[in-house]
Amino acid sequence: MPIYEYQCNKCGERFELVIGPGEEPGCSACGSKKVSKLLSAPGKVGVSSPGGALQCGKDTPCCGAAEPCATPGCHKR
């Protein structure tokens, strides 16, 4: 199921929810049903270099690491 990003029209809280068909989102902070769906950029798993190797970056996990790299281009092994 896709994850959608919302902003509460009452308290301004921004939050993400997995919403199924027919479900109505509610604010995770105040419970209000008056929320607006935000446009979100699609996520990316990694960025390929011209040679096809996965390049790490500040927002991209590197070489199988669970966390994004602190130093983009580090290629930790």
Separation between Cα atoms, residue 77 and residue 67, nearest integer Å: 13
- Are 13 and 30 in contact by the 8 Å Cβ rule? The answer is yes
Separation between Cα atoms, residue 46 and residue 17, nearest integer Å: 23
Examine the pLDDT at 76 and tell me if it is beyond 50: no
Separation between Cα atoms, residue 73 and residue 56, nearest integer Å: 5
Q: How confident is the model at residue 20 (pLDDT cuts 50, 70, 90)?
A: confident
Q: How confident is the model at residue 63 (pLDDT cuts 50, 70, 90)?
A: low
